[in-house]
Amino acid sequence: MRTRVKRLLVTVFLLFAGCSWLSAQDTLSVASRTRAKMDSLRNVIAARRNATAAAENGGADRPAAGTVTAARGMLTAEELLLRADSLRLAYDFPAAVDCYQEALDKAADSLARQAVEEAMILGENGLSMMDYCSDPVVVAKQRFSVRDFFLYYPMRDRSWRAMPNQLDSLGSEFVRATYIPDGGNSLFWSAPDRDGVRNIYQSHLIDTLWTAPKLINEQITSSSDEIYPVVSADGRSLYFASKGLYGMGGYDLYVSTYNRETQDWDTPVNLGFPFSSPYDDFLFYNTEDGKYSIFASNRECSRDSVYLYVLEYDGMPVRRKIADVARVRELSALPVRSRSRIDNRAISGQALSQSVDTRRYVDKMNEVRALKDSVSALTASAAADILALLPAMQARLEKVTKELQAIEMEFLSRGVVIDPDKLRSETDREVVGAGSGYTFSRHAPGAAIALNMARPEPDFDYTFRILPEAQFAENNTLPSGLVYQIQLFSLSRKATVAQLKGLSPVFEKLSPSLRYTYSVGQFRSYNDVLSHLNSVKRLGFKSAVITAYRDGQSLSVSAARKLEAQIRTLYKIRLFPEDGQSLPELVRTAIHQQTDKDIVRLMDNGSVVFEVGPVDSRQLAEQLVQVIKATGVQRVSIMEMGNTIVN
């Protein structure tokens, strides 16, 4: 219902936004076209929802192959794309690739072709991975909430912690905690970059200070999200999930091996079927005793929960080609086949051994706790008959406490130190799945932690400033376009910091006559540089003058001012797609209703970004942003393209 209301609001917004510059007749025409397109989009989205539901049911409702082939000729490119997606989700990669190809043949424009090509890559990847399938032994699986599923891994107790603000203050749908065991000296975690794309970062403990966060490397950084990095016990393998590397859709599982020669992580490899699937698969972990491999997936459930799959560890799995789609689907369902081979001793994590003496101690400790609760309840009561029970209860508590202390002394006499808090945690721990032969034991979350972390070096600030101590520009190269500076003086030798009297940023240039010329600032307009000239002169630079450059080449100030009069500021709108790859048809339609400017897909620091423009009005740019946000895309911004000369 909320989605339908949003789409209706978008339609209304588009109509009213268009009225500001359209005639009444044109407005009615736009309204008619908009309603038709929105109705078409709603039908397509409904078809996709039905197709996805059918795929999640194992494809049982799909028609016969001959019927599908005959019906495809009647479908549009958008409908073929949705059908291909549903086939991919049902593991029918051969049919999905064929359907993607038909959609590609019918795509009307380059943007639509691009969307099909991106989806087709996922189908082709799945088809390729059918040649390398392994058949692990599944010993258990259990469904948990996505909010705390990680607490059921047999990892160290109290080591999953809320993400410290120094690492990530936002979190995401799947990433709600990070693994930080006590005593570790390396951290690997997932956090969003400035564009909202999650990457894997690392930090190492040096003395008491963690190094500044650093991207792990280029091979493991994609255009979309990477989450849940886990380093193996020997430190040689890094397991993680990604939506942007070679995969078949959703989060796939990958492993990267540490290369001792290059001192870096090698190119990651997809774990393939049945570990990866067209759905979301993440948090792969090999138990420290080498008996089991565990990972999470929502391939059999809704996105608010996941299944944990427990497999027998296989260090060298045999991979073979499976051409039968039904067999691939069955393999990816990971049915439990070998409960008799489960060794629950291997999955208890940090559980204490349950000897007779330990059980006796735990029972006595529980009795003490129960008596304390009863005494507290009786003390709080005002009823005379209840208060009469208090002396006997207190006497019983004193006796049981002495018995508990006696058991502790027995342990101490044998050199065993008891940790009551740890034993209490063990007795309180939630146990799931014991009836299946494998016990999923819920660990306690760790306490919040504050990391003493070094700050990354900030980017150099090129704005004009007067500081206690002058600063030279990190890069003496001027930016492109029209730039003004204030020239301070020229010397036959290098100037000292003291001579520059706190100015920043100062640019140094050596002339062919071997004289050093010093200038400050990089201003985009004559009025801006003029407003700072007197401030510079008051510092003692009486002969300071304004200079001008175009694309790094010197020109007279008068010529620069004439060029500046011809300058207009252009703007682009930058969109970061929600799925990290493509823009929905609804967004493209909304943009095209407002402007005929191109939508261009680019790569920016490993992330997919779409740009619309250029437009020569800030007002129009802001209006476009509002329209785009109304469709549900929130990561959208306006970018000034600088000063452009109008000939």
Between the CA atoms of 603, 607, 613 and 616, what dihedral angle is there, to the nearest 10 degrees?
Answer: -110
Task: Note the pLDDT of residue 326.
Answer: 94
371 pLDDT band, cuts 50/70/90, is low
pLDDT of 88 over the 60 cut: yes
Task: Please indicate whether residue 121 or residue 351 has the higher confidence score (pLDDT).
Answer: 121
Task: Note the pLDDT of residue 646.
Answer: 47
Task: Note the pLDDT of residue 460.
Answer: 82
pLDDT of 630 over the 60 cut: yes
Task: Please indicate whether residue 283 or residue 1 has the higher confidence score (pLDDT).
Answer: 283
pLDDT of 192 over the 80 cut: yes
Measured at the CA of 384, the angle between CA 379 and CA 387, to 5 degrees, comes to 30
- Cα(347)–Cα(312) distance, integer angstroms: 12
CB 539 within 8 A of CB 466: yes
Span of 62-66, 92-96, 210-214, 251-255 with lowest mean pLDDT:
62-66
Sheet with 292-297, side-by-side order of all strands: 138-145, 305-312, 292-297, 281-286
Looking at residue 439, the DSSP 8-state letter turns out to be -
Mean pLDDT of 85-92: 94
Residue type, 484: Y
- Cα(255)–Cα(260) distance, integer angstroms: 16
Q: What confidence tens digit (pLDDT) does each residue in 402-447 have?
A: 777 777 777 666 666 566 655 555 555 555 544 455 788 888 888 8
Helix, strand, coil shares, percent, the chain, to 5: 35, 25, 40
Q: What confidence tens digit (pLDDT) does each residue in 583-613 have?
A: 888 888 888 888 888 788 877 666 778 888 8
- Cα(179)–Cα(181) distance, integer angstroms: 6
CB 299 within 8 A of CB 281: yes
- Cα(103)–Cα(37) distance, integer angstroms: 19
From first CA to last CA, the distance across the chain in angstroms is 51
Number of neighbours of residue 518 by Cβ within 10 angstroms: 23
Would you state the structure tokens that stand for residue 351, as one six-digit string? 């559980």
Q: 503: which strand partners?
A: 466
Q: 237: which strand partners?
A: 257
Residue type, 635: R
The CA R_g of the chain, rounded to the nearest whole Å, is 33
Task: Please indicate whether residue 343 or residue 331 has the higher confidence score (pLDDT).
Answer: 331
Q: Where are the domains of the chain?
A: 2-129, 138-346, 356-437, 465-565
Would you state the structure tokens that stand for residue 270, as one six-digit string? 């997809």
Task: Note the pLDDT of residue 351.
Answer: 40
CB 433 within 8 A of CB 139: no
CB 331 within 8 A of CB 277: no
284 pLDDT band, cuts 50/70/90, is very high
Would you state the structure tokens that stand for residue 356, as one six-digit string? 């007779």
What mean pLDDT value characterizes the chain? 79
Q: Which of 568, 502, 567, 507 is nearest to 539 (CA)?
A: 502
298 pLDDT band, cuts 50/70/90, is very high
Task: Note the pLDDT of residue 332.
Answer: 93
- Cα(269)–Cα(280) distance, integer angstroms: 17
Q: Which of 449, 447, 454, 448 is nearest to 204 (CA)?
A: 454
- Cα(559)–Cα(287) distance, integer angstroms: 72
If DSSP codes are grouped into helix, strand and coil, which group holds residue 615? strand
Q: Which of 177, 164, 280 is nearest to 225 (CA)?
A: 280
Task: Note the pLDDT of residue 581.
Answer: 75
Task: Please indicate whether residue 35 or residue 524 has the higher confidence score (pLDDT).
Answer: 524
Q: What confidence tens digit (pLDDT) does each residue in 455-514 have?
A: 766 678 899 999 999 999 988 889 888 999 999 999 999 999 999 999 999 999 998 888
Between the CA atoms of 183, 297, 437 and 326, what dihedral angle is there, to the nearest 10 degrees?
Answer: -150
The DSSP annotation for 157-222 comes to TT-EEEPPTTT-SS--SS--EEE--TT--EEEEEEE-TTS-EEEEEEEEETTEEPPPEE--STT--
Q: What confidence tens digit (pLDDT) does each residue in 212-243 have?
A: 888 888 888 888 889 999 999 888 999 999 99
CA atoms within 13 A on the CB side of 306: 24
Mean pLDDT of 184-200: 86
Q: What confidence tens digit (pLDDT) does each residue in 234-280 have?
A: 889 999 999 989 999 999 999 999 998 888 899 999 999 999 999 99
- Cα(194)–Cα(218) distance, integer angstroms: 17
H or E element in which residue 594 lies:
helix 585-594
If DSSP codes are grouped into helix, strand and coil, which group holds residue 603? strand
Task: Note the pLDDT of residue 60.
Answer: 41
